[in-house]
Chain A
């Protein structure tokens, strides 16, 4: 009996698909990193709402809203960066290439330092002016 050439085609397709997919551990790690970025963005959003709504008026009029706006912008950038990094890492994992070396955590750190310094300045200003 001659062998059916199509009999193993389904199995060969499955094998090819399995070979093309990266190690599942890398996929899951990338997924967890993406979610961490999104949670950071949500934390920044909560901080923005808290600053605008719950913090009493500061020494400089409109400072709360400016600080809240800055935090909201940082939240948007953090969420966007997380999404872009996931996409870049996923592409690199599938192609077996190097992971992206963008200094996005440094950008976030700088943003948080700026916000912190502004907040400290406003609190000191409030304490001094009464």
Chain B
């Protein structure tokens, strides 16, 4: 739960950094996309954290607890955020 929450916070911190960057100059909608994406992914990651906490809190422990879908989702989200952020940078 703590690891997922920390990951969610890392997404949020990136979103905050991207927002600060955007606020330094004229605010364009395209420039806010990476920040918005970071916030959305942070929220989804936190929801995954809550789901994992619920799953791991069952007694007896469920037979299958491997978070395969969640892992692929977060991995894809990180890669997408990096690509979107890179594309939004001024040349």
Q: Interface of A with B (CB < 8 Å)?
A: 14, 17-18, 21, 24, 27-28, 31-32, 34-36, 38-39, 41-43, 45-46, 48-50, 52-54, 65, 68-69, 72, 75-76, 79-80, 82-83, 86, 90
CB distance from B62 to the nearest CB of A (A): 9
Count CB-based A-B contacts (< 8 Å).
Answer: 91
The reply on B26 being an interface residue by CB < 8 A is: no
The reply on B78 being an interface residue by CB < 8 A is: yes
Q: Give chain B's interface secondary structure class.
A: helix
B residues contacting the other copy or chain, number (CB 8 A):
34
Complex contacts, B78 vs chain A, CB 8 Å: 38, 41-42, 79
CB distance from B52 to the nearest CB of A (A): 8
Q: A27-B66, A75-B82 given as contacts; is B3 within 8 A of A43 (CB)?
A: no
Q: Interface of B with A (CB < 8 Å)?
A: 3-4, 6-7, 10-11, 13-14, 17-18, 21, 24, 56, 61, 63-68, 71-72, 74-75, 78-79, 81-83, 85-86, 89-91
Alpha-carbon gap, A36 to B11, bound state (A): 13
